[in-house]
């Protein structure tokens, strides 16, 4: 929701924390711009109906703003399109190693736990014969995993010997690993069976730079209010936090921002979408031309404002279900 988008914004339509735009020139149906809607932060429990685990996509922003109708909208800031429009999606992978002995041991442990659980379940239900059968099958699986492969038995023997030798050398102040001893003694190392495994998603960050050169007193006030609004809404809250005796025991989470590339009254049909973001950094250069210069009212002639936002949740496949353009 954008307030006063195609009308001159006056003091009666401004919000306590927003309702500003730069430049002040009229916006048309073909104007491209970046909209920042300021909303009150809702915790995972508040958004999840009491659950402490949020559902994927709960921070997604719909065509008319946040998907959560209960979210309190505090204001809006409109800025010209930044010069550095880019996105980057990444997920985290990591190398995993598991030699054959560890793999066999994992299989044995897994069989033991599963078999013991099934046997216990049958015993509780009074099925003694079934419980005995489960135990017998479990024992058979364990013996099969460790006793039928001669190469595995030989590897286990070499590993045990090297492990004991390494421990003994450690007592004497040596620092030789089991793998190093095996390599020195036999010229072999355990096959690490390396594989790249998925660790999890990552959170995206966005950096924007805006140059503001006010051309009137009204635009000067607008620039000042925009900078102040960004700073105010990234600041932790001390009011209404239930602090005891006003001692400030708790701090309340700052407000969040819903960023949207827009064309006229609609979302941009091509550029990427955002999820709810925190403003993590703001930096303003009041001498962006390299010299200190101001108007008569002390407003800097030119300023550069750098903003860094970070999304509250990762991107999931379900986020693309109703996202047009390039998606997220």
Measured distance CA(221)–CA(37) in Å, rounded? 20
pLDDT of residue 171 exceeding 70: no
Select from 198, 217, 233 the last residue of a domain: 198
Q: Are residues 140 and 279 in the same domain?
A: no
Mean pLDDT of the chain: 79
Instruction: For residues 254-277, give the mean pLDDT.
Output: 94
Q: Are residues 248 and 102 in the same domain?
A: no
Distance spanning both ends of the chain, measured CA to CA: 20
Select from 171, 198, 225 the last residue of a domain: 198
The string of pLDDT tens digits covering residues 193-210 is 889 999 999 999 999 999
Q: At what angle do helices 178-186 and 150-171 cross, to 10 degrees?
A: 120
Which stretches does DSSP call E strand in 146-273? 195-201, 205-212, 256-263, 266-267
Q: Is residue 276 part of a domain?
A: yes
Q: How far is CA 35 from CA 38, 197, 261, 265, in A?
A: 10, 38, 6, 11
Q: What does DSSP assign to residue 319?
A: G
pLDDT of residue 293 exceeding 90: yes
Give the range of the structural domain holding residue 262, as residue numbers without chain letter: 20-88+205-320
Measured distance CA(220)–CA(22) in Å, rounded? 10
pLDDT of residue 114 exceeding 70: no
Closest CA to 86 of 238, 205, 191: 205
Q: Are residues 229 and 130 in the same domain?
A: no
Q: Is residue 83 part of a domain?
A: yes
The string of pLDDT tens digits covering residues 34-46 is 999 999 998 888 7
Q: Are residues 125 and 212 in the same domain?
A: no
Q: Are residues 186 and 136 in the same domain?
A: yes
Residue 183 in contact with residue 91, Cβ under 8 Å? Answer: no
Q: Are residues 291 and 241 in the same domain?
A: yes
Instruction: For residues 242-259, give the mean pLDDT.
Output: 78
Query: pLDDT class for 121, splitting at 50, 70, 90?
Result: low
- Tally of domains in the chain: 2
Q: Is residue 1 part of a domain?
A: no
What is the predicted pLDDT for the residue at 16? Answer: 45
Measured distance CA(92)–CA(199) in Å, rounded? 5
CB-count exposure of residue 85 (10 Å: 0-12, 13-18, 19+) = middle
Token pair of 213, please? 């050169």
Q: State the CB neighbour count (10 A cutoff) for residue 18.
A: 25
Ordered DSSP codes for 55-78: PTTTTBEETTEES-TTPPEEEEEE
Q: Is residue 14 part of a domain?
A: no
Token pair of 326, please? 């390039």
Q: Are residues 190 and 213 in the same domain?
A: no
Q: Is residue 68 part of a domain?
A: yes
Q: Is residue 13 part of a domain?
A: no
Token pair of 182, please? 């095996």
Select from 148, 175, 198 the last residue of a domain: 198
Top mean pLDDT of 59-63, 226-230, 295-299 is at: 226-230
The string of pLDDT tens digits covering residues 59-97 is 777 554 555 555 789 999 999 999 889 999 999 999 998
Q: Are residues 123 and 186 in the same domain?
A: yes
pLDDT of residue 130 exceeding 80: no
Measured distance CA(233)–CA(212) in Å, rounded? 20
Q: Is residue 6 part of a domain?
A: no
Share of the chain above pLDDT 70, in %: 65
Q: Are residues 83 and 108 in the same domain?
A: no
Measured distance CA(200)–CA(93) in Å, rounded? 7
Model-level pTM greater than 0.85? no
């Amino acid at each position: 929701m954008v307030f006063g988008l195609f009308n001159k914004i006056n003091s009666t339509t401004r919000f306590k924390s927003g309702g500003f735009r730069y430049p002040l020139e009229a916006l048309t149906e073909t104007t491209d711009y970046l909209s920042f809607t300021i909303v009150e932060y809702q915790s995972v429990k508040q958004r999840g109906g009491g659950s402490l685990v949020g559902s994927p996509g709960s921070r997604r922003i719909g065509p008319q703003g946040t998907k959560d109708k209960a979210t309190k909208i505090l204001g809006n800031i409109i800025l010209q399109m930044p010069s550095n429009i880019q996105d980057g999606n990444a997920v985290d992978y990591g190398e995993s190693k598991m030699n054959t002995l560890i793999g066999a041991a994992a299989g044995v442990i897994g069989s033991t736990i599963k078999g013991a659980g099934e046997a216990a379940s049958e015993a509780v239900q009074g099925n003694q014969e079934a419980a005995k059968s489960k135990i017998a099958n479990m024992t058979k699986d364990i013996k099969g995993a460790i006793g039928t492969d001669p190469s595995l038995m030989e590897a286990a023997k070499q590993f045990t010997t090297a492990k004991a030798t390494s421990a003994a050398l450690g007592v004497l102040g040596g620092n030789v690993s089991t793998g190093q001893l095996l390599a020195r003694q036999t010229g072999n190392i355990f096959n690490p069976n390396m594989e790249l495994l998925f660790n999890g998603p990552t959170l995206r960050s966005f950096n924007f730079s805006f140059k503001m050169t006010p051309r009137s007193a009204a635009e000067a006030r607008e620039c000042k209010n925009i900078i102040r609004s960004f700073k105010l809404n990234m600041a932790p809250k001390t009011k209404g936090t239930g602090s005891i005796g006003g001692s400030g025991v708790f701090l309340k989470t700052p407000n969040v921002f819903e960023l949207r590339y827009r064309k006229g009254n609609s979302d941009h049909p091509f550029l990427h979408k955002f999820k709810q973001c925190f403003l993590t950094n703001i930096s303003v250069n009041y001498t962006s031309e390299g010299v200190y210069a101001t108007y008569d009212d002390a407003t800097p002639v030119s300023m550069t404002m750098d903003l860094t936002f970070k999304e509250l949740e990762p991107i999931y496949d379900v986020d693309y279900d109703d996202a047009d353009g390039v998606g997220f």
